Structure 1
Amino acid sequence: MKHKLLIIGSVWPEPNSSAAGSRMMQLISSFLFENYQITFVSACAKTENAFDLAALGVDQVPIELNHSSFDSFISELQPDVVIFDRFMTEEQYGWRVADVCPKALRVLDTEDLHCLRKGREQAFKAEQVFDTSYLFNEIAKREIASIYRCDLSLIISEAEIEILTQVFKISPSILYYLPFLLEPITDYIIQKLPKFESREHFITIGNFLHPPNYQSVIYLKQHIWPLIRKQIPQAELHVYGSYASEKVIQLHNKKNGFLVKGYAEDVSEVMQHAKVCLAPLQFGAGLKGKLIDAMQNGTPCVMSSVAAEGMFGNLPASGFIADEEVDFVNSAVALYTNNAIWNNTKDNGFNIINSRFQASDFHAVFHQFIKDVISILNLHRQENFIGQMLQHHTVQSTKFMSKWIEEKNK
Structure 2
Amino acid sequence: MKRALIVGYVWPEPNSSAAGARIVQLIQALHAGDFVVDFACAAALSEHQIDLSSLNVPAHSIALNCSSFEEFVRALAPDVVIFDRFVTEEQFGWRVASACPAALRVLDTEDLHSLRAAREQLLKQALASDKQAGPVLAESAELFCQMRRSEMILREVASILRCDMTLMISPVEIALLQDYFQVPQALLYLLPFMVNPGESERHTFIERRHFVTIGNFRHNPNWDAVLWLKQSIWPELRRQVPEAELHIYGAYPPKKATQLHNPAERFYIKGWADDAQVVIGAARVLLAPLRFGAGIKGKLLDAMRCATPNIATPIASEGMGGEGPWPGAIATDAESFAREAARLYLEADHWRHAADACLPLLRENFDAQRLGPAWVHRLHGLLDDLDAHRQKNFLGAMFQFHAARSTEFMSRWIEVKSRLQGDS
Class of the TM-score when normalised by the shorter of the 2 chains:
over 0.9
- 1:93 alignment partner in structure 2: 92
- 2:176 alignment partner in structure 1: 163
Q: Give the letter aligned to residue 71 of structure 2.
A: S
Structure ranking higher on relative contact order (CA contacts 8 Å, 6+ apart)? 2
Aligned residues of 1:155 and 1:175 also touching (Cα < 8 A): yes
Shift of 1:394: 6.7
- Determine helix, strand or coil for the equivalent of 1:47: coil
Equivalent-residue separation in structure 1 for 2:263 and 2:353 (angstroms): 32
Aligned residues of 1:207 and 1:242 also touching (Cα < 8 A): yes
1:122 and 2:121 are equivalent in the alignment: yes
Query: Bigger shift: 226-235 or 387-396?
Result: 387-396
Query: Bigger shift: 123-132 or 62-71?
Result: 123-132
Equivalent-residue separation in structure 1 for 2:410 and 2:258 (angstroms): 40
- 1:32 alignment partner in structure 2: 31
- 1:49-84: CA deviations, max 9, x gaps? 101111121110100000011011011111000000
Q: Give the letter aligned to residue 181 of structure 1.
A: M
Equivalent-residue separation in structure 2 for 1:292 and 1:365 (angstroms): 20
Shift of 1:372: 1.1
- Determine helix, strand or coil for the equivalent of 1:179: coil
- 1:61 alignment partner in structure 2: 60
- 1:48 alignment partner in structure 2: 47
1:84 and 2:83 are equivalent in the alignment: yes
Aligned residues of 2:322 and 2:364 also touching (Cα < 8 A): no
Matches within 5 A, 1:129-140: 130=138, 131-132=142-143, 133-136=145-148, 137-140=150-153
Equivalent-residue separation in structure 1 for 2:221 and 2:378 (angstroms): 34
Equivalent-residue separation in structure 1 for 2:174 and 2:86 (angstroms): 16
1:12 and 2:24 are equivalent in the alignment: no
Q: Give the letter aligned to residue 368 of structure 1.
A: H
- Determine helix, strand or coil for the equivalent of 1:197: coil
Shift of 1:358: 0.5
**Using a 3 Å threshold, how does the CA distance of structure 1 residues 195 and 88 change in structure 2: closer, same or farther?**
same
Alignment equivalent of 2:368, drawn from 333, 339, 359: 359
Equivalent-residue separation in structure 2 for 1:167 and 1:315 (angstroms): 29
Equivalent-residue separation in structure 2 for 1:368 and 1:235 (angstroms): 48
Equivalent-residue separation in structure 2 for 1:251 and 1:314 (angstroms): 39
Shift of 1:361: 1.4
What TM-score, normalized by structure 1, do the two folds share? 0.97
Q: Give the letter aligned to residue 191 of structure 2.
A: L
Matches within 5 A, 1:8-407: 8-127=7-126, 130=138, 131-132=142-143, 133-136=145-148, 137-186=150-199, 189=200, 192-393=201-402, 396-407=405-416
Equivalent-residue separation in structure 2 for 1:394 and 1:327 (angstroms): 48
Equivalent-residue separation in structure 2 for 1:43 and 1:364 (angstroms): 29
Q: Give the letter aligned to residue 161 of structure 1.
A: I
Q: Give the letter aligned to residue 194 of structure 2.
A: L
Equivalent-residue separation in structure 2 for 1:303 and 1:247 (angstroms): 24
Shift of 1:313: 2.9
Equivalent-residue separation in structure 2 for 1:315 and 1:323 (angstroms): 20
Query: Bigger shift: 131-140 or 142-151?
Result: 131-140
**Using a 3 Å threshold, how does the CA distance of structure 1 residues 94 and 125 change in structure 2: closer, same or farther?**
same
- 1:376-404: CA deviations, max 9, x gaps? 11111111111000012477432221111
Structure 1: gaps (5+ residues):
none
- Determine helix, strand or coil for the equivalent of 2:126: coil
What TM-score, normalized by structure 2, do the two folds share? 0.94
Aligned residues of 2:197 and 2:305 also touching (Cα < 8 A): no
Equivalent-residue separation in structure 2 for 1:396 and 1:86 (angstroms): 21
Equivalent-residue separation in structure 2 for 1:395 and 1:83 (angstroms): 18
Equivalent-residue separation in structure 1 for 2:259 and 2:284 (angstroms): 25
Percent of counterpart pairs with the same letter?
47
- 1:189-213: CA deviations, max 9, x gaps? 1xx2110001110000000000000
- 1:106-138: CA deviations, max 9, x gaps? 000000000110000011111186322112222
Q: Give the letter aligned to residue 172 of structure 1.
A: Q
Q: Give the letter aligned to residue 31 of structure 2.
A: L
Q: Give the letter aligned to residue 111 of structure 2.
A: D
- 1:331-370: CA deviations, max 9, x gaps? 0000000001101111111111112111111222212211
Aligned residues of 2:286 and 2:303 also touching (Cα < 8 A): yes
Equivalent-residue separation in structure 2 for 1:179 and 1:145 (angstroms): 22
Equivalent-residue separation in structure 2 for 1:122 and 1:305 (angstroms): 17
- Determine helix, strand or coil for the equivalent of 2:307: coil
Shift of 1:307: 0.2
- Determine helix, strand or coil for the equivalent of 2:292: coil
Aligned residues of 1:149 and 1:388 also touching (Cα < 8 A): yes
Equivalent-residue separation in structure 1 for 2:116 and 2:408 (angstroms): 26
Structure 2: gaps (5+ residues):
128-135, 420-424
Stretches of 4+ aligned residues off by more than 6 angstroms: none
Aligned residues of 1:156 and 1:179 also touching (Cα < 8 A): yes
Equivalent-residue separation in structure 2 for 1:184 and 1:350 (angstroms): 7
- 1:208-255: CA deviations, max 9, x gaps? 000000000000000000000111111110000000000000010000
- 2:417 alignment partner in structure 1: 408
Equivalent-residue separation in structure 1 for 2:216 and 2:324 (angstroms): 28
Q: Give the letter aligned to residue 141 of structure 1.
A: L
Equivalent-residue separation in structure 2 for 1:349 and 1:401 (angstroms): 49
